[in-house]
Structure 1
Amino acid sequence: MEALVLFLFAVLSTVQCEYKTLHGTVDDPGERTKTFVFDAKDTEIANHRSKRAAAPAADLASDGITKINHLNDTHKQLMVHWVGEKSNVVICLARDPAPLIPGFTTMGPSNVYISYDDGDTYVNKTDSFKNNGSYSVLEKFYNHPKYNTHFVFTDITNNSLFVTTDYGQSFRRIPLIFTPSEVSFHEYYPSTFVLLDKNDTSNKFWVTEDFGKSFRLAHEFVKSFFWFKDSDENLQLILQRSEPNNMSSIIYSKTLFKNRASQIYATNVKDFFLKGDYLFTTKNNSKGDLELYVSYKLGRQILCVFNTTQKAKSFFVVDVTGSRALVVISHSNVTSHLYVSENLAGNDGKVKFTLSLENIFAFLPGTTWQDSWLHHLYDEAFIDIYKVEGLSGIYIASKLISKPVGSSLGPQHLGSVITFDHGATWRPIQPPARDLEGQTTACVLARNCSLHLSQKFGQIFPDTRSVSILSSKSAPGIIMATGVIGKSLKGHYGVYISLDAGLTWRHILRELYFFNMGDHGGILTAVKYYKTKGETRHIEYSINEGKQWKKTAFHNEELKLYGLMTEPGENTTVFTMFGSLPEHHQWIIVKVDLKNVFNRTCKPNDYKMWSPSQSTEFRNYIPCVLGEQITYEKRMPDALCLNGLDYVRVVSKQKCGCDVNDFECDFGFMKLGSPARCVFDKNLTKAVGYDPYKPPSTCKPGSFYNRTKGYRKISGDICVGGFDFHYLPDMVPCPVEPIDDFLLFAQRERISR
């Protein structure tokens, strides 16, 4: 086995692709991700056999209504998509994962199952996917973002498409002369989609405007593409095209490149990424240093300047909220820092970024952790940072707390921190004082002990494969996570919950679980994670915010479970589990409706008003986040009533007075002391030649300019008045320039000056 692993690593090193200098978190086109992939690679897999999906079992759960579907399918992965929009359609693609090394192993045929009754029953549609009599090897499928009846399924092995306009009731096969590596729909037109062939050395880009009846070659040498709305709300198609000098050009067109008509946005670009309304590009300057540029809706490109003397190897755009960006720079193999911008509109022709968090954990293929197991087993860039949903400015990140020796990267090297002000300040996560049994945890921040929450790294790490953080717009303030109490992410895992947006936490379950929430946060559910807890036939639930848990059976045999999901939005009481019997892997889908655990529907007096608040070891703050007090209606935990699908949460907003919490260090300053103050950074000034006190070049005598006090208001913060005069810049007069005029005066014998 060891020899095989070494062989795989050796082969992988010979098939390395061109590394990117710019990555980012892709925006979700919908409200929440509707497609999930469940993996059963760790189970014993027999040869694939597929029969018609079995009829659902009779109702089983005493506390809910259970529907069980045996797919009789042994594939290793199940891609599940909730169509939503009141369609009651759920689509499942059973497939094998792509081989680790292209061409080293082959993928077998895939199977497709579709439910038209919201997951009560599934129809085996595999016979609709054949290529010349043989079953297709389907890689994935794509759903139109607005016309949700339209789907495109891709077979990149046999170069064919299968399309439907009626939720899969019928399919039409389309043979292709190219490989449909990537597919994307036009947002406005149901019959228009584009395809990129990454299997062709010319990376050809194709367009169809009649739902696959004909295709037009639009361009070649395309590395990536994005849809984008310009300032006039026209949908533009943007391409990154490779050029002979190994650089790229960015071109765009609102006519889908008919007759190759296009406009040039940028040339001599290394890489390109789109985030919201902002376009980011990387270029090398005259010294060969990598630089980042940003523009708003195809406007002027502005240079991004970072308050660091370290060179950049690559960038990762984490988030853009409003006009404020979070960007990670990898400075070396093991060193990456998070930076936060001022307003992306820039000032004096530049957008200035200040340091937000040092040593954030970042995996950027070809740039970081090249000597670790991650480099060999994972090929997608990621930053271990989570944006809490439903509230603004709250992020949870993993940072490197110690440097690993050699390739021994593990959870013991990572720890968690949280910010409530969009990255202006970070702090350890407050641990619960008592554990699940009520025993003291003996963990306090003063002893370097805190709560650490698992994210992407924990999902990938072979020894844990833990579940990441969960929050929802429909349940503001509630966060569920897999966590460890101690000095790092290494330790005894459990499930923790915060009801106040991450300020305080409570231990609710021991060991690893899959977990979810429904009914706008009114019900929490969990099932044992088979990797550490073995099989189960029970689902556990709580309707009082995790204080007490009950369990109910969902199957007459114990199953290995690979996931617990609810329809995106977390508004229903319906939960779906995906698993198999322990002795032989065959997919089983179990749907449980727990609506009956509530004995009544909520009334107005079952609710209270709640606001998130901030606190530090030095003082407590009124419940203001980014200069605004937001008050939410929230069900009281002991009401034990059903919110219901039609529940609309009451929200009120009010601006707050300004405080130090509404400001961050200006460019050219750094945090120092405890509590932290922003002080002049002399080293940065010497290194980059930037003087934050220097009057602007446009400052003329008789006018005024803003002279910084070392602070700047957090972009997006809307506080007014208060103590803002302590932090806002001073208005000072522009200096009077010395004049070289002279005065003549007469003396007895001569004229002097």
Structure 2
Amino acid sequence: MANKEGKLTSKYFLFSFLTIVTVCSIVEGNIRQLSFHTSKSVVQFNANDLPVFVEQKIENDHKLYKRELTEDQDPVCLAQNSKFVKSLEGKTITRNLTFTNETKPAMALAWAGENDGVLIIVTTDSILGTTTESSVFRSEDYGVTLTNLTDKLGLKPGKYVIKKHNGVQRHPYNSKKIYLIGEGNYMYTSIDGGLNFAQNTLSFPFDGELVFNPFNEDYLIALNAKKNMFISKNNGNSWQQLEIKDKATHVEQAVDKVIWGVKLDEDVDGGSNPDTNETIYFTYGAQPMADSFLKQFIDFSFTTDYTLAKSTDGGATYIDILRNVVSFDRQGKFLYASQIKSKTDAYGWRHLLISTDGGTVFKEVQLPTIEPDRFFSVMDIEENMIFMHVDNKEDTGHGTLYTSANQGIVYSISLTRHLFPNYGEIHDFYKVKSMRGVYITSQMSDDDSIHTMITYDQGGKWQKIPRPVGVPCKDESKGCYLQIHGMYSLKRGINANLPISEKTATGLILVHAHVAESLQKTEPDVFISRDGGYTWNLSLPGAHHYQILDHGGLLVAVSKSDPSPKVLRFSLDEGRCWHDYKFTDQVLNFTGLVTEPEGKSAVVMLWGYVQETKKWVVNVVDFEKVIDRKCEDNDYEPWKAHSALRVKGIPEDQGCLLGIKETFLRLKKDSWCLNGYIHEQKSKREFCTCTREDYECDYGYFRPGSSDNCVKEPDFQGPEIDICMHGHDEKLVSEGYRKIPGDKCKNGFKPTSKIIDLNKVCDEYGNSIVQFDEQQEQVASQNGFGRGIKILAIIIVSAVLLLAATMGVYFVRKFILLRRHKTEYRYSLLNQGEQQNLMDDDDEEEENKAVSSTVRYEDSDDEELNTTVRPAKQNGVVKKTSKPKDTNPFGSYHDDSDDDMLS
């Protein structure tokens, strides 16, 4: 769930010019898109991105998928396979359809219901990103039979068509509600899964995705290309523009981002919710340049700072709650925003602010202030705790991963050298849905090789993944661990899929990985864990598409080594035994293995495209027809989650994580049955007795060695932490412990803390609490005039340089590409040498530069900030750090210079 901050466009004046001359490279990078892209419940294919394959090659490789049963094969697998072959006699479990009179190369499909096979399918053709023709179909049997809705909807080539991108959208809180967005001022809405659509004429064209209200399904928000905001309170039947104007000049403003308020889980988030069904948060600023050819490629803005506003009546009125905001988001009980720290700084040294009361009061997050070409990224929010990535200096490709305390203000270092390159949303941070507290990510070594790290306790401790039993390693003399491929691997062209897990399939994780000292370029294999990542097994050799079905009771896979596979592999025992089923004799370009979201169904769709005829083909395999026995009570066995935790303590504490131990009923490995779509996972939760492990060391304390006791760091010179609460500065006097966010333990160990009200207003210490200041409006107005002059100057100079730019496109483009790749984040062709310490002294000093307790804000950038440095823990020891030099105000979620131009 990484949420990376949008970059500032004003890093250097020169880049306004360079942007002009990189148009060719931008277009080139957008020609080819991923052939298979899934976004929640909408799946997109693009046949134009698929290579052409020769049938003879496919037939020669067919033996690759034939299972050769040998005498030494697992007898359990042999018995299962015999049972499956016998069950197939006289049955047809595959249905297929070849689209007739339909050759459009792009397709998007949305699930329009649950467990009913209803799909809305839209095919499109486009030129230069604009849809020229589209068709709409509805199916009630996973695509085997279709009803053509094109004429019924009045769609006509070149006149009424559905957008290729974001043209099909499904309501996240009601799967029956489908929205078809037209390439113009019209849209179609359905509330019954596509049985009926209403056409609505609009006063504006959509741009992007609809914003859905979690409280009221009929409340929608949309933005147009000019960033005007429109609201509908009747599911899109009518829309009203919300006028957002500068309060001083009354000039219309553009909306950069808008979200509805959030629903809170009282058990998890706690406290009262300041949001209602009409609460809206949005950022706004000066209107963008008039639409023009040049504007498509250039943003002349010197800054991208906005005003954060809030409406409690559906946009009828609004109040400004924070100025100079670069980006913001609202998740769980937290509203966080990055803000340009100095009011006179147009280039964006920024800090991070957070509010837990819906924006009434913002507090400064205790994280390092960063410069404009660095970023913050909120990776995940879980049980009132935030995972926050802070980029390192100088495009290193890595940063520091922090975890927060309960209020999101105070942070501790969780993982150093955390991989997060500076272009796009490219990282390997993955939250395991099937096991509470488990996360997987990648870390960079000193030699820039990459290795996988895992945490089982919500970021408290990270470790390498032990080598699975019996799996060979390329170099046995070096460290051999399981290395898992993530998003970064896909970006680098590795033939792999992202890890998958489902909340409905407890403990189950499927990944592409190999055993080595670090990530390799060689094709990976499929590894599976059934206990939440503690142990792993090699399940399938080679790269595969894979999906989880039937609440984890059924796994399916298709080889990625063959571009035109004919065999579907499946397992009913979490990957121990795999069986082959030939689903087609047809040669087609395989585009995707698709199942209903959340992994509950036992039906899988295999989509492909016949290159010669340019027709789409779908094969639907229904396992309910061949595995017809419903699982019974004796098919399940109890399983304790996190049983490897606290094994050395008293027996009652074994398996305790964050104060809770859980026991689940899971399928036995040798069961041959289906859970069924409506299956509910049975589990038992028990609260644990509190121990010191349920507490982390407070600010200025550490655990020496393997001790559970937090002791005062003898070399720590900073004052106790001052946190502003309720408009006053309150000094927290602690015994060295604070409860881990989300921990539910009861009784037992309980350190005492007391709060002394010093009766001092926080602003006396430098805006520890940030509230909206009306004087900022005057400053913003004055800065706006100066920026206007700068913008005009940039436009004139850029126009003069345009002619010269066209003469040097080739050379400048080469320069930019080289600039982007000046740092090589590489995979090992072979295993690297012995790993050194993750951080040398210089790197460690940079990482430990600081978290300020109190900061005095000065108008002059040359003034040295009065910053108290928060010590970082390295190997369990708090390192004493000195006051950082040239410390500048804060940064944002992603904010990099030119690397984000990469395709």
Same structural fold, with TM-score higher than 0.5 when normalized by the shorter chain: yes
TM-score (norm 1): 0.76
Aligned counterparts of 1:337 and 1:418: Cα–Cα separation in 2? 15
1:568-613 CA-partner distances (Å, limit 9, x unpaired): 2212211111122365653212110112443632222221110122
2:137 to 113, 117, 134: 113
1:605-651 CA-partner distances (Å, limit 9, x unpaired): 22111012254899698222222110001111112222223322221
- Whether the 8 Å contact between 1:515 and 1:525 is mirrored in structure 2 is yes
Q: Secondary structure at the match of 1:291?
A: strand
The match for 1:136 is 161
The match for 1:653 is 685
Query: Aligned residues, how many?
Result: 646
Deviation of 1:11 after TM superposition, in Å, equals: 1.4
The match for 2:119 is 90
- Report the CA distance shift for 1:106/1:214 in structure 2 as closer, same or farther (over 3 A): closer
TM-score (norm 2): 0.64
Aligned counterparts of 2:257 and 2:712: Cα–Cα separation in 1? 42
Q: Percent of counterpart pairs with the same letter?
A: 25
- Whether the 8 Å contact between 2:321 and 2:360 is mirrored in structure 1 is no
Q: Which runs of 5+ in 2 are unaligned?
A: 1-17, 28-37, 54-86, 244-252, 263-272, 288-302, 759-903
1:305 maps to 2:335: no
1:329 maps to 2:390: yes
Aligned counterparts of 1:477 and 1:186: Cα–Cα separation in 2? 32
The 5 A counterparts of 1:167-316 are 167-182=193-208, 183-187=210-214, 192-197=219-224, 199-200=225-226, 203-210=227-234, 212=236, 214-219=238-243, 220-229=253-262, 230-231=273-274, 233-243=276-286, 247-258=305-316, 261-286=317-342, 289-306=349-366, 313-316=374-377
Aligned counterparts of 2:361 and 2:480: Cα–Cα separation in 1? 45
The match for 1:51 is none
Instruction: Note the aligned Cα RMSD (angstroms).
Output: 4.0
The match for 2:676 is 644
The higher relative CO (CA closer than 8 Å, separation ≥ 6) is in 2
Aligned counterparts of 1:447 and 1:732: Cα–Cα separation in 2? 52
Deviation of 1:451 after TM superposition, in Å, equals: 0.8
- Whether the 8 Å contact between 1:196 and 1:206 is mirrored in structure 2 is yes
- Whether the 8 Å contact between 1:508 and 1:546 is mirrored in structure 2 is yes
Q: Which amino acid aligns with 1:168?
A: G
Aligned counterparts of 1:41 and 1:494: Cα–Cα separation in 2? 28
Deviation of 1:299 after TM superposition, in Å, equals: 4.4
Aligned counterparts of 1:8 and 1:682: Cα–Cα separation in 2? 56
Deviation of 1:109 after TM superposition, in Å, equals: 2.3
Structure number with the higher helix fraction is 2
Deviation of 1:356 after TM superposition, in Å, equals: 0.8
The match for 1:341 is 404
Q: Secondary structure at the match of 1:120?
A: coil
Aligned counterparts of 2:91 and 2:534: Cα–Cα separation in 1? 33
- Report the CA distance shift for 1:403/1:338 in structure 2 as closer, same or farther (over 3 A): same
The 5 A counterparts of 1:671-710 are 690-692=718-720, 706-709=733-736
The match for 1:50 is none
2:450 to 414, 420, 426: 414
Deviation of 1:704 after TM superposition, in Å, equals: 12
- Report the CA distance shift for 1:483/1:141 in structure 2 as closer, same or farther (over 3 A): same
- Report the CA distance shift for 1:506/1:675 in structure 2 as closer, same or farther (over 3 A): farther
Range moving further from structure 2, 565-574 or 211-220: 211-220
1:369-403 CA-partner distances (Å, limit 9, x unpaired): xxxxxx4xxxx434421111133211111222356
Structure number with the higher strand fraction is 1
Aligned counterparts of 1:153 and 1:695: Cα–Cα separation in 2? 49
- Whether the 8 Å contact between 2:332 and 2:384 is mirrored in structure 1 is no
Aligned counterparts of 2:186 and 2:385: Cα–Cα separation in 1? 42
- Whether the 8 Å contact between 1:418 and 1:428 is mirrored in structure 2 is yes
- Whether the 8 Å contact between 1:37 and 1:80 is mirrored in structure 2 is yes
Aligned counterparts of 1:512 and 1:634: Cα–Cα separation in 2? 28
- Report the CA distance shift for 1:222/1:693 in structure 2 as closer, same or farther (over 3 A): closer
The match for 2:826 is none
Deviation of 1:520 after TM superposition, in Å, equals: 1.6
Aligned counterparts of 1:12 and 1:62: Cα–Cα separation in 2? 58
Q: Which amino acid aligns with 1:657?
A: T
Q: Which amino acid aligns with 1:416?
A: T
Aligned counterparts of 2:704 and 2:26: Cα–Cα separation in 1? 47
Q: Which amino acid aligns with 2:285?
A: S
The match for 2:514 is 484
1:626 to 651, 654, 658: 658
Q: Which runs of 5+ in 1 are unaligned?
A: 1-5, 16-27, 47-58, 369-374, 405-412, 736-753
The match for 2:180 is 153
Aligned counterparts of 1:675 and 1:69: Cα–Cα separation in 2? 64
The match for 2:22 is 10
- Report the CA distance shift for 1:460/1:704 in structure 2 as closer, same or farther (over 3 A): closer
- Whether the 8 Å contact between 1:311 and 1:331 is mirrored in structure 2 is no
Q: Secondary structure at the match of 1:457?
A: helix
- Whether the 8 Å contact between 1:480 and 1:495 is mirrored in structure 2 is yes
The match for 2:536 is 505
Q: Secondary structure at the match of 1:359?
A: strand
Range moving further from structure 2, 659-668 or 563-572: 659-668
1:71 to 93, 96, 99: 99
Aligned counterparts of 2:277 and 2:233: Cα–Cα separation in 1? 17
- Whether the 8 Å contact between 2:510 and 2:527 is mirrored in structure 1 is yes
- Whether the 8 Å contact between 2:144 and 2:618 is mirrored in structure 1 is no
Deviation of 1:314 after TM superposition, in Å, equals: 1.9
Aligned counterparts of 2:369 and 2:657: Cα–Cα separation in 1? 32
Q: Secondary structure at the match of 2:551?
A: helix
- Report the CA distance shift for 1:148/1:679 in structure 2 as closer, same or farther (over 3 A): same
Q: Which amino acid aligns with 2:642?
A: S
Q: Which amino acid aligns with 1:180?
A: F
1:455 maps to 2:486: yes
The match for 2:418 is 360
Q: Which amino acid aligns with 1:231?
A: P
- Whether the 8 Å contact between 2:478 and 2:517 is mirrored in structure 1 is no
Q: Which amino acid aligns with 1:352?
A: V
Aligned counterparts of 2:45 and 2:304: Cα–Cα separation in 1? 38
- Report the CA distance shift for 1:671/1:403 in structure 2 as closer, same or farther (over 3 A): farther
Aligned counterparts of 1:733 and 1:168: Cα–Cα separation in 2? 61
- Whether the 8 Å contact between 1:270 and 1:283 is mirrored in structure 2 is yes
The 5 A counterparts of 1:557-636 are 557-581=586-610, 585-598=614-627, 600-613=629-642, 615=644, 622-636=654-668
- Report the CA distance shift for 1:64/1:321 in structure 2 as closer, same or farther (over 3 A): farther
- Whether the 8 Å contact between 1:63 and 1:594 is mirrored in structure 2 is no
- Whether the 8 Å contact between 2:333 and 2:384 is mirrored in structure 1 is no
Q: Which amino acid aligns with 2:576?
A: K
Aligned counterparts of 2:359 and 2:757: Cα–Cα separation in 1? 31
Q: Which amino acid aligns with 1:389?
A: K
- Whether the 8 Å contact between 1:356 and 1:425 is mirrored in structure 2 is yes
Deviation of 1:113 after TM superposition, in Å, equals: 2.3
Deviation of 1:96 after TM superposition, in Å, equals: 5.8
Aligned counterparts of 2:91 and 2:475: Cα–Cα separation in 1? 37
Q: Secondary structure at the match of 1:110?
A: strand
The match for 1:319 is 380
Deviation of 1:255 after TM superposition, in Å, equals: 3.0
- Report the CA distance shift for 1:301/1:414 in structure 2 as closer, same or farther (over 3 A): farther
- Report the CA distance shift for 1:215/1:278 in structure 2 as closer, same or farther (over 3 A): same
1:295-341 CA-partner distances (Å, limit 9, x unpaired): 12414434343465876832111111222111111233223211100
- Report the CA distance shift for 1:105/1:635 in structure 2 as closer, same or farther (over 3 A): closer
- Whether the 8 Å contact between 1:450 and 1:485 is mirrored in structure 2 is yes
The match for 1:743 is none
- Whether the 8 Å contact between 2:142 and 2:620 is mirrored in structure 1 is no
The match for 2:858 is none
Aligned counterparts of 2:148 and 2:724: Cα–Cα separation in 1? 69
The match for 1:19 is none
Q: Secondary structure at the match of 1:595?
A: helix
